[in-house]
């Protein structure tokens, strides 16, 4: 006997103890596919015969089964399953996971069972148990057919058991091996003329007899609702049936198709919603045609899984956990979607928007509810553009993801509710993205990035980031990027120096980078500026009302609490962009800039008061006194003279330290006191400028710098060939000039924004700070040889690994954003950067 079992089956073996179920299972199924009650009894009690452990054993068994079913694995329950209640459990489990259920019954003669039991090597249950089991089996067999198993096989002799062959079948809906390309066509509703026009536009040749020839390799897929309402239902059916028969099209069933089928099957259905038109038009057709239609409709499936599981087509869409499964519920969802059970003012059912919560990997293409135009939402798209209601007939080209539409020739049917709303305020994606979910950011996470592959975030870092993000960060809709941390160059061995450009150049030379750009490092606070052309642009791009941009700190906080000040600064940047003709030049209505905002004292007030100025004040006051008492003492005491000299130097260092931090401080009483130095034009509409050189960034940004109303500060820069001695010397000189003038130092970047070296991604930038500036980092007296020697041992590895991961995540966030991916996809990248920032790394690097 051939036992045909679909891949998504939950199989109950039914039969008395000792009838060879386990032996049979081992022969036909993988060991991991078999969940045996004996095994679970042993697991919980160390004794597979301990009937008292059955309750616990079955609890575990069903829990294991549930896990396997949720992962789409064929599963066999190897237990006697002689009680109706036990079989009920199996059936319920199959139903819960939209599985097909099967029972294989071992109805063997009593003497065979007794004989098997005797010959068992390990244990015997005894004749009385077997006789009892056989009684139960006989009772079971009476009603088994009606219990609801989709497949039921009864093996009635040892020979049948011996010769049985298990044949696994794929589900009908499973068409993973069809990889397209496809043209997926929305609800046709009898609009034959428009369908023919659309097919022609897609490159199909349609003959006068409605025979269709597709362009080579392509296949059409209809999302259902071929019938009702429109002018030529038989024509549409003829065309589609022809294509499906010829293997040039697939078609899933729509709710209208299903209803017509029920009518054709003689069922009593209410003739409304355009069914009358179908029936009237079918009247003129032959009985044979009507029968062919009936058979065609009967065979239509609720959905298809295509292209290795990457594409799902269903009439009303399909939630992730229903995809590729088979049950009444799955089919109902595919046909009708989900409704709240309520009706709206037009008397139509209120639909639940399953797509708003969709998290699946597969793209879902569907129709069913007419929309003004197709819109992406969480990797799903509705392509029913209401042809029959005077809209358009739309096809989605897959995998190109472009759509092609033809206008309907006229309005064949009055839509129950308007589906062509007035100008769209916000895209469906922005509307749905109002809310982020805890489960999208919590726990250990793996984020796929284009630049670095998968980046792993540990659970404890996510935990830390949740607090920071919730308590301090700006509205997540503005968080499309956070800047990566930056490592210094390797530690210099030059006397009196910790950092020197030679090491920065050497790093890039070793990485195979030929040219680098040295940029002046401004000493302020890192600032990400997102500036929109106007409020409309902010609303349409970011979904934020009443704002036109934002200034963010490197940890995603709003830079200024003072809204008016932020507004004034943004307005100045906007004016500069206007004047530089930036909107037209970059074809965008918004920009995202990576900048430094000066003065440092504007943001670092707390730090200045509690640390820098405090240490300055304490050291100046203390060392002045020390110097004076030591001077007094050294007049009499030579030992004190040594101490005096040492503390005189310390007093000098404290003055130099004070001078160092003062350079970056000035009072800010108005907008005019701020300076903003943009150095990356990160992203504009549709583009992340990661593929451009830093020269391009500098030149583009300088266009707005000229008209920045005193706010914008240009970043001076120099390009250096790192293999040429003279150029290196030139770079070193440039750095010395910068730092002697009181500059913080410079940042060295490969000329290209992102570079892959011999061992993967290369540091996007390393910094090289000046010796005076470093007093702010390592303390007033760090230059003293006794200190410097120890400070030189510092490990850059962790910092550099972080810098790369954060860079990859930041770029990924921007790329996802310009692709208009769901907010949670952008947010998870920025969240991950914050999470990485909670890694303990030497904060002085």
Say how many residues make up the chain: 845
What sign does the dihedral 458-462-468-469 (CA atoms) show? positive
Q: How far is CA 22 from the centre of its chain?
A: 44
Is 776 a binding residue for other proteins by CB under 8 A? The answer is yes
Q: How far apart are CA 2 and CA 562, in angstroms?
A: 77
Q: Which of 298, 434, 645, 699 binds other proteins (CB under 8 A)?
A: 434
Q: How far apart are CA 35 and CA 10, in angstroms?
A: 11
Q: In what order do the strands lie in the sheet with 34-36?
A: 34-36, 75-78, 9-14, 100-106, 151-155
Cis peptide before 181 (omega within 30 of 0): yes
Task: Report the SS3 class of residue 816.
Answer: helix
Closest C-alpha among 174, 347, 355 to residue 272: 347
Is 471 a binding residue for other proteins by CB under 8 A? The answer is yes
* Residue 677: both structure tokens together: 């130095």
Is 66 a binding residue for other proteins by CB under 8 A? The answer is no
Nearer Cβ to other proteins (389/664): 664
Q: How far is the CB of 470 from other proteins (least distance, A)?
A: 4
Is 687 a binding residue for other proteins by CB under 8 A? The answer is no
Is 439 a binding residue for other proteins by CB under 8 A? The answer is yes
Q: Which phi-psi region, left, alpha or beta, contains residue 46 (left: φ > 0; alpha: ψ -120 to 50)?
A: left
Is 470 a binding residue for other proteins by CB under 8 A? The answer is yes
Report whether 339 contacts 350 (CB < 8 A).
yes
**Contact letters (x/-) for other proteins, 73-112, by CB under 8 A?**
----------------------------------------
Helix (H) or strand (E) holding 141: helix 127-143
Q: How far is the CB of 319 from other proteins (least distance, A)?
A: 15
Q: How far apart are CA 473 and CA 528, in angstroms?
A: 13
Q: Which of 78, 277, 781, 828 binds other proteins (CB under 8 A)?
A: 781
Q: Which of 145, 308, 437, 645 binds other proteins (CB under 8 A)?
A: 437
Q: How far is the CB of 22 from other proteins (least distance, A)?
A: 41
Closest C-alpha among 313, 307, 366, 309 to residue 181: 307
Q: Interface with other proteins by CB under 8 A: which range of 206-214, 360-368, 423-431, 432-440?
A: 432-440
Nearer Cβ to other proteins (295/642): 642
Nearer Cβ to other proteins (199/608): 608
Q: How far is the CB of 361 from other proteins (least distance, A)?
A: 21
Q: How far is the CB of 430 from other proteins (least distance, A)?
A: 14
Closest C-alpha among 57, 103, 65, 59 to residue 84: 103
Q: How far apart are CA 740 and CA 603, in angstroms?
A: 25
Nearer Cβ to other proteins (648/662): 662
Report whether 99 contacts 10 (CB < 8 A).
yes
Q: How far is the CB of 565 from other proteins (least distance, A)?
A: 16
Q: What beta strand segments (E) does 484-642 contain? A: 487-488, 515-521, 525-532, 549-552, 590-598
Q: Which of 344, 467, 536, 737 binds other proteins (CB under 8 A)?
A: 467
Closest C-alpha among 722, 684, 716 to residue 698: 716
**Contact letters (x/-) for other proteins, 613-642, by CB under 8 A?**
xxxxxxx-xxx-xx--xx-xx--xx-xx--
Q: Which of 147, 540, 778, 801 binds other proteins (CB under 8 A)?
A: 778
Nearer Cβ to other proteins (62/778): 778
Q: How far apart are CA 32 and CA 76, in angstroms?
A: 9
Q: Which of residues 401-420 bind other proteins (CB under 8 A)?
A: none
Is 606 a binding residue for other proteins by CB under 8 A? The answer is no
Is 670 a binding residue for other proteins by CB under 8 A? The answer is no
Is 52 a binding residue for other proteins by CB under 8 A? The answer is no
- The footprint of other proteins on this chain (CB under 8 A) covers a number of residues equal to 59
Q: How far is the CB of 599 from other proteins (least distance, A)?
A: 11
Q: Which of 164, 206, 279, 436 binds other proteins (CB under 8 A)?
A: 436
Q: How far apart are CA 511 and CA 463, in angstroms?
A: 35
Q: Which of 466, 497, 565, 687 binds other proteins (CB under 8 A)?
A: 466
Closest C-alpha among 26, 16, 14, 9 to residue 105: 14
Is 564 a binding residue for other proteins by CB under 8 A? The answer is no
What sign does the dihedral 316-321-323-325 (CA atoms) show? negative
Is 279 a binding residue for other proteins by CB under 8 A? The answer is no
Q: How far apart are CA 99 and CA 328, in angstroms?
A: 10
- The site for other proteins (CB under 8 A) is made up of 434-441, 463-464, 466-467, 469-471, 474-475, 601, 608-609, 611-619, 621-623, 625-626, 629-630, 632-633, 636-637, 639-640, 643, 654, 658, 662, 665, 667, 776-782, 787, 790-791, 844
């Amino acid at each position: 006997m051939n036992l045909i079992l679909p891949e998504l089956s939950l199989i109950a073996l039914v039969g008395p103890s000792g009838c060879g179920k386990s032996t049979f299972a081992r022969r036909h199924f993988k060991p991991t596919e078999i969940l045996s009650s004996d095994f679970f009894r042993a697991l919980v009690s160390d004794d597979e015969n301990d009937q008292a452990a059955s309750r616990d054993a079955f609890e575990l068994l069903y829990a294991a089964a549930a896990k396997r079913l949720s992962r789409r694995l064929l599963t066999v329950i190897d237990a006697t399953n002689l009680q109706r209640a036990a079989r009920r459990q199996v059936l319920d489990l199959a139903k819960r996971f939209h599985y097909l259920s099967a029972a294989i019954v071992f109805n063997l003669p009593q003497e065979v069972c007794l004989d098997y039991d005797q010959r068992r090597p390990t244990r015997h249950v005894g004749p009385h148990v077997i006789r009892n089991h056989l009684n139960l089996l006989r009772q079971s067999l009476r009603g088994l057919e009606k219990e609801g198993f989709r497949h039921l096989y009864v093996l009635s002799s040892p020979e049948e058991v011996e010769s049985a062959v298990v044949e696994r079948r794929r589900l009908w809906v499973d068409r993973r091996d069809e990889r397209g390309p496809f043209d997926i066509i929305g609800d046709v509703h009898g609009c034959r003329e428009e369908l023919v026009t659309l097919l022609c536009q897609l490159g199909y040749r349609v003959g006068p007899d409605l025979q269709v020839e597709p362009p080579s390799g392509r296949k059409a897929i209809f999302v259902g609702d071929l019938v009702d309402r429109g002018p030529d239902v038989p024509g549409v059916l003829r065309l589609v049936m022809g294509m499906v028969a010829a293997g040039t099209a697939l078609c899933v069933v729509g709710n209208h198709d299903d209803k017509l089928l029920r009518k054709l099957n003689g069922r009593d259905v209410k003739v409304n919603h355009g069914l009358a038109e179908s029936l009237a038009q079918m009247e003129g057709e032959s009985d044979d045609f009507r029968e062919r239609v009936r058979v065609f409709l009967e065979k239509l499936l609720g959905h298809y899984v295509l292209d290795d599981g990457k594409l799902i087509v269903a009439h009303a869409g399909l939630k992730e956990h229903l995809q590729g499964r088979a049950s009444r519920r799955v089919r109902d969802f595919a046909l009708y979607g989900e409704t709240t059970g309520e009706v709206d003012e037009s008397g139509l059912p209120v639909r639940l928007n399953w797509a708003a919560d969709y998290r699946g990997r597969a793209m879902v293409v569907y129709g069913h509810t007419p929309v003004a135009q197709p819109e992406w939402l969480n990797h799903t798209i509705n392509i029913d553009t209401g042809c029959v209601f005077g809209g358009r007939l739309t096809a989605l080209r897959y995998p190109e993801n472009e759509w092609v539409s033809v206008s309907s020739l006229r309005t064949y049917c009055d839509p129950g509710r308007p589906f062509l709303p007035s100008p769209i305020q916000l895209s469906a994606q922005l509307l749905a993205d109002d809310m982020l979910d805890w489960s999208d950011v919590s726990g250990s996470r793996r984020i796929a990035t284009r630049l670095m592959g998968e980046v792993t975030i540990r659970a404890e870092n996510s935990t830390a980031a949740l607090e920071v993000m919730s308590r301090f960060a700006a509205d997540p809709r503005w968080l499309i990027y956070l800047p990566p941390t930056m490592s210094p160059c390797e530690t210099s061995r030059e006397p009196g120096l910790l950092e020197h450009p030679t090491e920065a150049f050497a790093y890039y030379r070793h990485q195979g980078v030929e040219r680098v750009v040295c940029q002046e490092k401004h000493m302020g606070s890192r600032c990400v500026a997102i500036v929109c052309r106007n409020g409309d642009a902010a609303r349409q791009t970011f979904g934020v009302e009443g704002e036109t941009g934002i200034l963010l700190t490197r940890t995603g906080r709003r830079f200024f609490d003072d809204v008016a000040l932020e507004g004034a600064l943004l307005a100045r940047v906007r004016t500069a962009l206007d004047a530089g003709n930036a909107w037209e030049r970059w074809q965008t209505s918004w920009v995202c800039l990576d900048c430094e905002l000066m003065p440092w004292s504007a943001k670092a007030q707390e730090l200045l008061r509690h640390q820098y100025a405090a240490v300055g004040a304490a050291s100046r006051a203390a060392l002045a006194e020390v110097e004076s008492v030591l001077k007094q003492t050294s007049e009499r005491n030579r030992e004190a003279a040594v101490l005096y000299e040492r503390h005189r130097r310390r007093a000098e260092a404290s003055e130099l330290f004070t001078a160092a931090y003062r350079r970056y401080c000035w009072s800010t009483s108005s907008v005019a006191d701020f300076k903003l130095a943009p150095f990356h034009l990160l992203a504009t509409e549709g583009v992340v400028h990661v593929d451009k050189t830093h020269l391009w960034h500098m030149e583009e940004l300088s266009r707005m710098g000229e008209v920045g109303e005193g706010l914008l500060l240009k970043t001076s820069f120099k390009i250096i060939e790192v293999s040429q001695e003279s150029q290196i010397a030139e770079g070193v000189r440039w750095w010395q000039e910068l730092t002697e003038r009181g500059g913080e130092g410079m940042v060295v970047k490969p000329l290209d924004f992102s570079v892959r070296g011999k061992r993967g991604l290369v540091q996007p930038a390393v910094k090289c700070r000046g010796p005076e500036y470093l007093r702010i980092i390592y303390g007033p007296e760090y230059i003293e040889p006794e200190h410097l020697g120890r400070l030189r041992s510092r490990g850059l590895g962790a910092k550099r690994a972080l810098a790369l991961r954060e860079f990859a995540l930041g770029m990924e966030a921007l790329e996802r954003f310009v692709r208009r991916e769901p907010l949670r996809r952008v947010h998870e990248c920025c969240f991950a950067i914050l999470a990485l920032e909670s890694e303990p790394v030497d904060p002085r690097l």
